[in-house]
């Protein structure tokens, strides 16, 4: 089956949604489900803050994957499997991080990020429909099936029959008994005041001269990137540089400035990289991705502002000062290996635990303590989540709407990593480790960490300063100061 791009399907989605009529036989059921979705907006909002996915999109997917029964918040958003364990159906084995039983919000964030929905910047009607269909699968577009997906259009005039009764098993006579996603969206717009972020893609970028002043967007632009605005800028600038797409005869024509980063745009980026050097004559890496260095050469070094270290603020300066102060105390567990000691107990209490009630790993507690002291010193609320768990801190960072940088994003664009951030390591089995970044040296972090040792272990004996290559950070980075 051929791959589909949004540009291939946008007109179809728009036409169907504009003309959509909810079946009279199912109108009351559609209203009932829409009411349930709206009633749970507060929970969907929490996932939306972590991912950027509109709350109503989260709610609609939830109704389709987990049903509308009283136990729907006990099921994974991925596919409706129970939260008591990792998923069994496709996608199996999710969430990969943490340990069951899972929190619903934690699992929902994993489901949406696993499908790349957190990268979508513009939630138009067309984009919403495209993401819904991708989430369920494009199987209904197979040449031997070719019907409107019931996942989108069931309970409307656009769908009559035909359904997959299991993964890969299609029945031409089976009829869906679920309200389609776009049908629910239509009702939410009509009755619940849901506002969709426009229906047109961003306006075309006018072709200009190489070096046009456009700042780097803060993330790598790559194949299938949903940031249509940045993709259009790249396509337009490649055309202005005389590098378009090449046909089978070796002739070049301008790229379509459509905001879709497909194979042709990727090939054009590779061509540009192979012909270009940085200001110090260093050749660009030929990888087909537009990171800060390729962007700087494509748009002109002066215009492409590549982020450096996070601008020093009172909170970050105080955070590093306090972490350095704890390091200077030569904090060690007493006795060694006990997860106890005068300072260690302070760290653990700051996260809301009684150190005498158990042997607690305290790396997260140390970070919380340092942020708590720094925030109090500058008269600000503590932005770091109050928890002692590595994976819980990672999930709460997202759910509180704070910035998370995934490890693959940091490896692709190391300028995203800055002092004052917290690194997160995943060791598997629900275990992990964190530390405070106090400096950057080349492609390595300078960190101050609690509950570690000279070798950098997760169950260490004190507070140590460490140097860690950015590429070794397996989970990502949390940013708690803008």
Asked if 345 and 404 touch (Cβ cutoff 8 Å), the reply is no
Condensed to tens digits (0 to 9), the pLDDT of residues 177-188 reads 999 999 999 999
Rounded mean pLDDT, 155-181: 94
Residue 292 contacts residue 304 (beta carbons within 8 Å): yes
CATH number of the 314-479 domain: 3.90.1720.10
Give the residue carrying structure tokens 């275990």: 431
**The CATH classification of domain 205-306, taken from the options 1.10.10, 1.10.101, 1.20.58, 2.40.50:** 1.10.101
Sign of CA dihedral 163, 165, 169, 171: negative
pLDDT at 444 over 80: yes
Give Cα separations from 195 to 31, 56, 374 (angstroms): 17, 10, 40
What does the chain come to in residues?
482
Q: Which residue has the higher pLDDT, 439 or 219?
A: 439
More confident call, 227 vs 317: 317
Question: How high is the pLDDT of residue 100?
Answer: 85
Q: Please tell me the distance from the alpha carbon of residue 382 to that of residue 368, in angstroms, as a whole number.
A: 8
Asked whether the beta carbons of 268 and 255 are under 8 A apart, the reply is: yes
Distance CA 135, CA 149 (A): 12
Distance CA 195, CA 36 (A): 18
Taking only the tens place, the pLDDT of each residue in 223-268 is 877 778 788 889 888 887 777 765 544 455 788 888 888 888 988 8
Please give the residue that has the higher pLDDT: either 24 or 247. Answer: 24
Residue ranges matching CATH 3.90.1720.10 in the chain: 314-479
pLDDT level of residue 25 (50, 70, 90 thresholds): very high
Residues carrying CATH 1.10.101, the chain: 205-306
pLDDT band at 275 (very low <50, low <70, confident <90, very high): confident
Instruction: Give backbone dihedrals phi and psi of 447, rounded to 5 degrees, phi first.
Output: -130, 155
């Amino acid at each position: 089956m051929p791959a589909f791009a949004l540009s291939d399907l946008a007109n179809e989605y728009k036409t169907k949604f504009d003309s959509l009529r909810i079946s009279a036989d199912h109108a009351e059921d559609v209203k009932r489900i829409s009411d349930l979705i709206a009633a749970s907006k507060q929970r969907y909002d929490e996932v939306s803050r972590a991912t950027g996915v509109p709350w109503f999109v989260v709610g609609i997917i939830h109704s389709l994957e987990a049903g509308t029964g009283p136990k729907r918040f006990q099921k994974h958003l991925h596919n409706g499997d129970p939260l008591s364990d990792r998923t069994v159906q496709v996608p199996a084995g999710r969430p990969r991080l943490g340990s069951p039983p899972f929190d619903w919000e934690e699992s929902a964030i994993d489901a949406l990020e696993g499908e790349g929905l957190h990268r979508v910047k513009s939630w138009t009607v067309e984009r919403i429909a495209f993401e819904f269909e991708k989430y369920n699968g494009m199987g209904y577009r197979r040449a031997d099936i070719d019907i409107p997906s019931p996942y989108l259009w069931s309970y409307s005039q656009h769908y009559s029959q035909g359904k997959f009764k299991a993964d890969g098993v299609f029945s031409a006579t089976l009829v869906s008994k679920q309200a389609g996603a776009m049908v629910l969206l239509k009702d939410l717009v009509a009755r619940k005041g849901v506002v969709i972020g426009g229906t047109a893609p961003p306006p075309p970028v006018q072709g200009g001269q190489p070096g046009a002043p456009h700042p780097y967007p803060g993330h790598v632009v790559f194949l299938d990137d949903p940031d249509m605005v940045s993709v259009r800028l790249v396509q337009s600038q490649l055309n202005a540089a005389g590098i378009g797409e090449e046909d089978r005869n070796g002739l070049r024509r301008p790229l379509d400035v459509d905001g879709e980063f497909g194979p042709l745009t990727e090939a054009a980026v590779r061509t540009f990289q192979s012909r270009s050097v940085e200001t110090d004559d260093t050749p660009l890496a030929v990888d087909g991705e537009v990171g800060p260095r390729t962007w700087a050469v494509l748009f002109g070094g002066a215009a492409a502002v590549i982020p450096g270290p996070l601008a020093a603020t009172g909170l970050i300066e105080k955070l590093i000062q306090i972490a350095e102060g704890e390091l200077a105390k030569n904090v060690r567990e007493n006795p060694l290996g006990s997860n106890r000691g005068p300072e260690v107990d302070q760290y653990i209490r700051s996260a809301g635990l009684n150190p005498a009630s158990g042997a607690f790993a305290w790396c997260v507690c140390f970070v919380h303590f340092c942020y708590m002291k720094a925030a109090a010193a500058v008269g600000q609320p503590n932005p770091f989540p109050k928890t002692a768990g590595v994976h819980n801190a990672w999930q709460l960072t997202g759910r509180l709407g704070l910035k998370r940088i995934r490890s693959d994003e940091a490896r692709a664009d190391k300028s995203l990593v800055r002092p004052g951030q917290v690194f997160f390591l995943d060791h598997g089995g629900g275990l992990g480790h964190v530390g405070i970044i106090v400096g950057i040296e080349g492609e390595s972090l300078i960190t101050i960490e609690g509950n570690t040792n000279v070798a950098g272990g997760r169950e260490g004996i004190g507070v140590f300063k460490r140097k860690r290559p950015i590429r070794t950070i397996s989970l990502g980075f949390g940013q708690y100061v803008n």
